C-alpha cells in the first residue's frame, strides 16, 4: 500500500514539474506597497536552478538600499541580493532583474522589495500557492 501511495505521489510531482516547465513557471500577483506597486515576478527553473525574474513593467523604488526578500510558507524571511548594482559606469546603476535562489530557501509564498536601510517592506507580490523549490 505504501509503495502505491509513494508511486502516485512521485507521479504527481513529476506531472506538476512538467506542467510548470511547460507553462514557463509561476507568475505572482502584482506588487503592492508604498513604493513598489507595479509589475510581477516569475519563478522558473533554468539549468536546474530556481530563478526569480521581475517583469519589464516593474519600476525600482527610489529608496536607499532596496533588496530582494522572499518569504516561505512558514513565514520565514530571506534577505537576498541588492536590487540595484552600484557603479555601472557611464550607464549608471544597473538592476538585478533576475536572481538565483539559494539552496536553503525551501519554498516561496511571497516576494518582497525590502529597504535594508530603513528596514521596511516597500511592496510585495504573492503566488497563488507557495512555489515548491525544484530539487538541486
Question: pLDDT digit string (tens) for 67-80?
Answer: 999 999 999 999 99
Distance CA 60, CA 16 (A): 32
CA 51 – CA 59 distance, rounded (Å): 19
Q: What is the pTM of this model?
A: 0.77
Cell numbers 516593474 label which residue? 58
Does residue 135 surpass a pLDDT of 80? no
Determine what percent of the chain is predicted with pLDDT higher than 70. 76
pLDDT in tens, 59-112: 999 999 999 999 999 999 999 999 988 765 556 678 999 999 999 999 999 999
Contact between 135 and 94 under an 8 Å Cβ cutoff? The reply is: no
Report DSSP state, residue 32.
B
For 3-12, 28-37, 54-63, which range has the lowest pLDDT when averaged over its residues? 3-12
Amino acid at each position: 500500500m505504501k509503495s502505491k501511495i509513494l508511486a502516485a505521489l512521485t507521479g504527481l510531482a513529476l506531472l506538476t514539474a512538467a506542467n510548470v516547465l511547460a507553462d514557463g513557471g509561476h507568475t505572482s500577483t502584482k506588487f503592492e506597497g508604498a513604493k513598489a506597486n507595479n509589475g510581477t515576478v516569475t519563478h522558473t527553473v533554468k539549468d536546474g536552478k530556481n530563478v526569480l525574474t521581475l517583469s519589464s513593467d516593474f519600476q525600482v523604488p527610489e529608496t536607499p538600499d532596496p533588496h530582494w526578500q522572499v518569504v516561505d510558507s512558514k513565514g520565514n524571511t530571506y534577505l537576498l541580493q541588492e536590487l540595484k548594482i552600484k557603479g555601472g559606469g557611464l550607464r549608471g546603476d544597473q538592476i538585478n532583474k533576475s536572481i538565483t535562489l539559494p539552496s536553503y530557501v525551501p519554498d516561496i509564498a511571497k516576494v518582497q522589495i525590502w529597504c535594508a536601510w530603513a528596514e521596511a517592506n516597500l511592496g510585495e507580490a504573492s503566488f497563488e500557492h507557495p512555489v515548491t523549490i525544484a530539487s538541486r
